[in-house]
Structure 1
């Protein structure tokens, strides 16, 4: 699934990196704890989170996450958008809850888990 397909699936809107929307993702991870993201996320993952602060962008950059969707109607700050744009990270938002957004992505075929085995 492409990032653009994922954003459409969750009825989202882009903030930056819309051209990155052609990137394929193999899995999705919904998390608000960055320690969980750092411990378990693997390659080509789409991050869904309700956490809106610059550490989300820094963590994504560190883990080579190319796309973040903010849930529950949350929007990144202008500084976060600039950071993400500089790092080549796509940002989008959806009004859906994390549970519903993850469920819609699962229904659309994004089925591989976004985490490493424990």
Structure 2
């Protein structure tokens, strides 16, 4: 899966920190935050050369996030990070997403434990 082309480092960073401590607020709650440009309010369409540069930057951001994820023992691969970042870029609250990831892991461990106990 290709990284999301509108990946931004602040959103990606906010997600990685949210997975670790769930303490970074969304940018709309930060006073004097610069509004984020999106496809509706972007002043111009990007030329093809810039798109490939943007894709390279997105890939680099995913690589950096993967390193952060590894350091923080988040156990997220590059594909999962790309999906999570895409969800955040589309408006999903990073703290809520982190909570869902943690809950899914917990349920997965419980299911694995049940399967292991049945095999004994």
In our comparison, the structure showing a higher alpha carbon Rg is 2
Instruction: Compare the two structures and name the one with the higher helix fraction.
Output: 2
Instruction: Please report the TM-score for the alignment, with normalisation by the length of structure 2.
Output: 0.28
Higher relative contact order (CA 8 A, sep 6+): 2
- Name the structure with the higher strand share: 1
**What's the TM-score, normalizing by structure 1?**
0.28
